[in-house]
Structure 1
Amino acid sequence: MKPVMIVAGTRPEIIKLASVIESLEKLNIDYLFIWTGQHYDYELSRIFFEQFKLPEPDEVLQVGSGTHAEQTAKIMLGLEKLIKKHSPAIVTAEGDTNTVVATALTSLKCLVPFAHVEAGLRSWNMVMPEEVNRKIADTVATVHFAPTKLSLINLLFEGICPKNIYLTGNTIVDILCKYKNLVKEKGEAFLSEVGLDKNNYILVTLHRAENTDNPQRLGNILKALKYLSQQYNIIFPAHPRTKNRIMELGLAKYLQKVRIIKPLGYFEFLSLLANCKTVLTDSGGVQEEAFILKVPTVTLRYNTERPETTMYGLNKLAGADTELIVRLTLQQIGYAEKMRTLDIKNPFGDGHAGERIARILKEFSEKEIAIEEPDLRETPVVTYALLDDRTGIDSIFEPIIGFNEDGEPCIQAKDYWKLLAKVRRSYYRDE
Structure 2
Amino acid sequence: MLVSIIAGARPNFMKIAPIIEAIRKAHDEGYSINYRLIHTGQHYDKKMSGDFFEQLGIPEPDANLEAGGGTQAEQTAAIMVRFEKELLENKPNLVIVVGDVTSTMACAITAQKLCIPVAHVEGGIRSGDWSMPEEINRLVTDSITNYFFTTSEVANTNLRNSGVPDERVFFVGNTMIDTLLKQMPSFLKPDFWDEFKLEKKQYMVMTLHRPSNVDDPEQLKSLLGVLENSSNDQPVIFPVHPRTRNNLQKFGIQLEKVKMVEPLSYLEFNYLVQHAKGVITDSGGITEETTVMGVPCMTLRNSTERPETCALGTNELLGTDPIALEQALTRLYAGKWKEGVVPPLWDGHTAERIVKHICEIFDVKSEETVSVL
Asked if these proteins are the same fold (TM beyond 0.5), I'd say yes
The gaps in structure 1 that reach 5 residues or longer are 368-431
SS in 1 for 2:4: strand
Specify the alignment match of 1:276 in structure 2.
Answer: 276
Matches within 5 A, 1:181-260: 181-183=185-187, 186-187=188-189, 191-192=193-194, 195-228=197-230, 231-250=233-252, 252-253=253-254, 255-260=255-260
Specify the alignment match of 2:371 in structure 1.
Answer: none
Specify the alignment match of 1:7 in structure 2.
Answer: 6
Shift of 1:315: 1.5
Specify the alignment match of 2:325 in structure 1.
Answer: 325
**2:350 & 2:4 partners in 1: Cα distance?**
18
Letter in 1 for 2:179: I
**1:34-60 deviation line (CA, Å, top 9, x unaligned):** 000100101111001000111100011
**1:74-99 deviation line (CA, Å, top 9, x unaligned):** 10111111111111101011000000
SS in 2 for 1:335: coil
**1:121 & 1:347 partners in 2: Cα distance?**
16
Give RMSD over aligned pairs.
2.0
Specify the alignment match of 1:87 in structure 2.
Answer: 91
SS in 2 for 1:204: strand
Shift of 1:228: 2.8
Shift of 1:257: 2.3
**1:341-374 deviation line (CA, Å, top 9, x unaligned):** x6x353352211111112223344557xxxxxxx
Letter in 2 for 1:240: P
**1:322 & 1:290 partners in 2: Cα distance?**
21
**2:278 & 2:134 partners in 1: Cα distance?**
25
Specify the alignment match of 1:22 in structure 2.
Answer: 21
**1:139 & 1:257 partners in 2: Cα distance?**
46
**2:294 & 2:121 partners in 1: Cα distance?**
24
Shift of 1:314: 2.0
CA contact (8 A) 2:190 2:272 kept: no
Specify the alignment match of 1:148 in structure 2.
Answer: 152
Letter in 1 for 2:303: N
1:173 aligns with 2:173: no
**1:9 & 1:209 partners in 2: Cα distance?**
21
Q: Compared with structure 1, are the counterparts of its residues 137 and 49 closer, same or farther at alpha carbon in structure 2 (3 Å cutoff)?
A: same
Q: Compared with structure 1, are the counterparts of its residues 345 and 319 closer, same or farther at alpha carbon in structure 2 (3 Å cutoff)?
A: closer
Larger radius of gyration: 1
Aligned counterpart for 2:140 among listed residues 128, 136, 139: 136
SS in 1 for 2:279: strand
Shift of 1:275: 0.7
1:65 aligns with 2:69: yes
SS in 2 for 1:228: coil
CA contact (8 A) 1:229 1:258 kept: no
Matches within 5 A, 1:348-427: 349-366=346-363
Shift of 1:230: 6.2
Aligned counterpart for 1:117 among listed residues 95, 116, 121: 121
Specify the alignment match of 1:309 in structure 2.
Answer: 309
**1:241-295 deviation line (CA, Å, top 9, x unaligned):** 1111111122x22x23211111111111111101111100001010000011111
The gaps in structure 2 that reach 5 residues or longer are 28-32, 365-373
Specify the alignment match of 1:47 in structure 2.
Answer: 51
Q: Compared with structure 1, are the counterparts of its residues 244 and 229 closer, same or farther at alpha carbon in structure 2 (3 Å cutoff)?
A: farther
SS in 2 for 1:172: helix
**1:180-236 deviation line (CA, Å, top 9, x unaligned):** 2223xx459974465310000011011123322333432332222222386321110
Specify the alignment match of 1:38 in structure 2.
Answer: 42
Q: How many residues align?
A: 359
**1:335 & 1:154 partners in 2: Cα distance?**
35
SS in 2 for 1:27: helix
CA contact (8 A) 1:100 1:137 kept: yes
Q: Compared with structure 1, are the counterparts of its residues 313 and 335 closer, same or farther at alpha carbon in structure 2 (3 Å cutoff)?
A: farther
SS in 2 for 1:241: helix
Q: Percent identity?
A: 40
**2:312 & 2:128 partners in 1: Cα distance?**
22
Deviates more, 1:188-197 or 1:355-364: 188-197
Letter in 1 for 2:351: G
**1:159 & 1:332 partners in 2: Cα distance?**
41
CA contact (8 A) 1:220 1:320 kept: no
**1:152-197 deviation line (CA, Å, top 9, x unaligned):** 11111111111110001001221222122223xx459974465310
**2:106 & 2:215 partners in 1: Cα distance?**
24
Letter in 1 for 2:124: G
Deviates more, 1:317-326 or 1:189-198: 189-198
Q: Compared with structure 1, are the counterparts of its residues 311 and 248 closer, same or farther at alpha carbon in structure 2 (3 Å cutoff)?
A: same
**1:298-324 deviation line (CA, Å, top 9, x unaligned):** 101111111111125722222221111
CA contact (8 A) 1:295 1:336 kept: no
TM-score (norm 1): 0.79
TM-score (norm 2): 0.91
